[in-house]
Amino acid sequence: MNILLSYSFSSLAAYFHNWLQSIIGNGILLTITELVIVGVVLLVFLILLAFFLGYMERKVAAFMEIRLGPNRVGPKGTLQIVADTVKLLFKEGFTPDAADKFLFNLAPGIIITTALLAVAPIAFARGFQIWDINIGVLYISSISSMAVIGILMAGWSSSNKYSLIGAMRCGAQIVSYELSIGLSLVSIVVLTGSLSLNDIVESQANGWWIFKGHIPVMIAFVVFVIASTAEINRAPFDLVEADQELTGGFNTEYAGMKFAMFLMAEYINLFVVSAVAATIFLGGWMPFHIGGLTGFNHVMDYIPSSVWFFGKTLFIIFIIMQFRWTFPRLRIDQLLNLEWKYLLPISMVNVLLVTLMAIMGWHL
Amino acid sequence: MILGEEDYITEEGEFVVNMGPQHPSTHGVLRLKVWLDGETIKKVEPHLGYIHRSIEKMSESLSYRQYGYLTSRMDYLSAHINNLACALVVEKALQVEVPARAQAIRIIIGELTRIGSHLLWFASAGLDLGGVTPFFYAFREREAINSIMDENCGARLTQNFMVPGGIVYDVRPDFQSRVKEVLKQFKDNFHEYNEILTGNVIFQNRLKDVGILTKEDAIAFGCTGPTARASGLSCDIRKMYPYDGYEKLQFDEVISTGCDSWARYEVRMAEMLQSVRIIEQLIDNIPEGDIVAKTKNVIKLPKGEFYQRVETARGELGVYIVSDGGASPYRCKYRSPNFANLSAIPHIARGYKIGDLIAIMATIDLIIPDIDR
């Protein structure tokens, strides 16, 4: 029973590794084979995830808007998103005449690549991590800020004025909100003393940071959710796309699969920021424990660690989706005011508080 | 859209963007040529004429029974009120007494139209500012109102019900109960509108102090309707020049002195409740009797000029008819509210951001076919 409770996916990975080793033998070929397998599995998983999130978004939107949502294709409309993908696949991948063709076609690739790369250090379950890098937090925040290059590239190369305005907005927006995200991540790094996501999850074995970090960590959590919604350009911070103002912003000129890649990148980014929030503040794959209630804690332990991780992640995704279907869009100056006048000063003071808390040991 | 190189970037380094004719927020084929300095608007120039159908010229070859039907295609959200204006001008010229029953039904239908129109404005204002959900809230009630229109005059859009002398058909027997049902639904759900938009801080910040239209400017540009009333100008035709029995009813003219987009929002929200109040006074007191006054088969207006103004959902609609004594107008001219309201946009949008231009257009509530006619 104890083996089941503390089951770590690392043993499964070790088993596969040994099996491949016995077939291929040691060497560069083994590494390449493993990378390819991981890459393909990850890609399939993320595409399915993007499908699921697309379906979920439609259903959440329908729920908020007193509608039914997709209910024709497949059982309960679950295959609607597949039908949409097939449609997008068969559409012409149109490149405008006046566009900078190389950059125009490169941009979706860059955006999707940055989205995929950011998934690497996330711990999906106990011992289930693609890359246990010791600077995971730094890695994620630096990779996700590279998406701005892709968006700027798409906006600039489209040779469309709306796209250009969207790209310029994106530059201002993402660069600003990076700071708040960074500072709210720093507050947990200060408490844990490690940049590794694995260490951060392990440090929450006796309580999630949002509970044992008191009010400063809660503030950091709220700031993180707001700033990451802005970072991934979702409503109410979707000024980069702003259909009603810029007719789609940076992706106005994109169609077919190139557009689908932007869409997929958006959902993967949504998953990544929610997963990071779940990992850092809500304990990742750690089960929910209440001190003293041994029986209750024991029952919680029986729930698999991956269920905990995805449950927490989907909860945050659900919250971010509700933002989109509730709030109107901000104006560009209001957006920057929110960051520079409110979120950033709050996070700076908050980091000081957290540091004080860490020095005094109040969080233990 | 033909763009010369010289239009692209001006000498001062301004960026010229054509908003429209195909743009999600112009609600039709309006083209706004916008000179931008970064995000800031330096100048706006509306270009019209994309859907000009020469309704006024066509009216000259139609009879007085027919010409009103075209007005449903002008401001299609105030179709009944436009028809009413056309009917009223003929009645005025012929000095016909409209039966009391027809008058009451006309007012009820007209005010339902006003609520429906303001609901669509609410829906699209929310949508323009990036909130999709209010759209569905407002359409829930608008659909119910449209169903009443559908049942009684056979159309959901381009409705035609008012004819010279009265109304074209009698209403269905369940008209009163259906209207009460819809009003109850509207009043029960009204708080949801306030929860989703009115009370939202983001929404308020988007509208407050945006697009200031002073009272002097409102008069100078000839603005009417909720747009002018939000600038403190008392201009409700129903109060100033009562027509068709409005003088017997109790209702308030909603005036705000905020002058900004938020004031325009508040005025329209309050006007919906005033319309409900008007309908409630009438719905239980619809008199029995004829629905249309007797007129000759071929209506011929006496020689002269006739003018009638009504308050549509967007402002003052004036119908000006010159008659040479024949069976069709010699000259027909509509003074449409949206044309005058649009003329204020270049003035009030200057110096604001792109997002504000959308907010200004949303709260001025333009219907493009009414501008072009």
Q: What is the 3-state secondary structure (H, E, C) of chain B?
A: CCCCHHHHECCCCCEEEEECCCCCCCCCCCEEEEEEECCEEEEEEEECCCCCCCHHHHHCCCCCCCHHHHHHHCCHHHHHHHHHHHHHHHHHHHCCCCCHHHHHHHHHHHHHHHHHHHHHHHHHHHHHCCCCHHHHHHHHHHHHHHHHHHHHHCCCCCCCCEECCEECCCCCCCHHHHHHHHHHHHHHHHHHHHHHHHCCHHHHHHHCCCCCCCHHHHHHHCCCHHHHHCCCCCCCHHHHCCCCCHHHCCCCCCCCCCCCHHHHHHHHHHHHHHHHHHHHHHHCCCCCCCCECCCCCCCCCCCEEEEEEEEECCEEEEEEEEECCCCCCCEEEEECHHHHHHHHHHHHHCCCEHHHHHHHHHHHCCCHHHHHC
pLDDT of residue B3: 47
* CATH architecture of residue range(s) B5-372: Orthogonal Bundle (1.10)
pLDDT of residue B11: 60
* Residue A238 at interface with chain B, using a CB cutoff of 8 Å: yes
- Count of domains forming chain A: 1
Q: Is the pLDDT of residue A235 over 70?
A: yes
Chain B interface mutation, best of A240, A327, A335, highest count of B Cβ atoms under 10 Å: A327
Q: What is the mean pLDDT of residues B351-365?
A: 87
Q: What is the pLDDT of residues B249-291, one digit of tens each?
A: 888 888 888 888 899 999 999 999 999 999 988 888 888 888 8
Q: What is the mean pLDDT of residues B110-115?
A: 91
Q: What is the mean pLDDT of residues A229-246?
A: 81
* Domain-located, residue A119: yes
* Residue B203 at interface with chain A, using a CB cutoff of 8 Å: yes
Give the span between the Cα atoms of A170 and A151, in whole angstroms.
7
* Domain-located, residue A110: yes
- SS3 for A171? helix
* Domain-located, residue A89: yes
Q: Is the ipTM of this complex over 0.90?
A: no
- pLDDT interval class at A3 (50, 70, 90): low
A330 and B358: CB-CB below 8 Å?
Answer: no
* Domain-located, residue A155: yes
Give the span between the Cα atoms of B349 and B341, in whole angstroms.
13
Of the candidates B23, B130, B136, the beta carbon closest to that of A328 is on: B130
Q: Are A9 and A128 in contact (CB under 8 A)?
A: yes
* Domain-located, residue A245: yes
> What's the whole-number average pLDDT of chain B?
87
Pair of tokens at residue A156: 């600039």
Q: What is the pLDDT of residues B27-49, one digit of tens each?
A: 778 888 888 887 888 888 888 88
A328 and B136: CB-CB below 8 Å?
Answer: no
For A170, A325, A330, B23, the CA distances from A240, given in Å and listed in that order, are 5, 17, 11, 16
Which residues from chain A sit within 8 angstroms of residue B135, using beta carbons? 65
Q: Are B343 and B222 in contact (CB under 8 A)?
A: yes
* Domain-located, residue A308: yes
Which residues from chain B sit within 8 angstroms of residue A244, using beta carbons? 24-25, 127-130, 358
- pLDDT interval class at B6 (50, 70, 90): very low
- pLDDT interval class at B1 (50, 70, 90): very low
* Domain-located, residue A57: no
B197 and A328: CB-CB below 8 Å?
Answer: yes
Q: What is the pLDDT of residues A36-88, one digit of tens each?
A: 888 888 888 888 888 888 888 888 888 888 888 888 888 888 888 888 888 88
Of the candidates A64, A67, A245, the beta carbon closest to that of B358 is on: A245
**Residue A329 DSSP symbol:** P
* Domain-located, residue A218: yes
Structural domain including A305 reads 84-360
pLDDT of residue B5: 46
Pair of tokens at residue A279: 């990992």
Pair of tokens at residue B215: 């009272």
Of the candidates B197, B202, B358, the beta carbon closest to that of A244 is on: B358
pLDDT of residue A191: 85
Q: What is the pLDDT of residues A256-274, one digit of tens each?
A: 888 888 888 888 888 988 9
Q: What is the pTM of this model?
A: 0.86
- pLDDT interval class at A6 (50, 70, 90): low
Q: The sheet that has B40-47: what strands, in order across it? A: B15-19, B31-37, B40-47
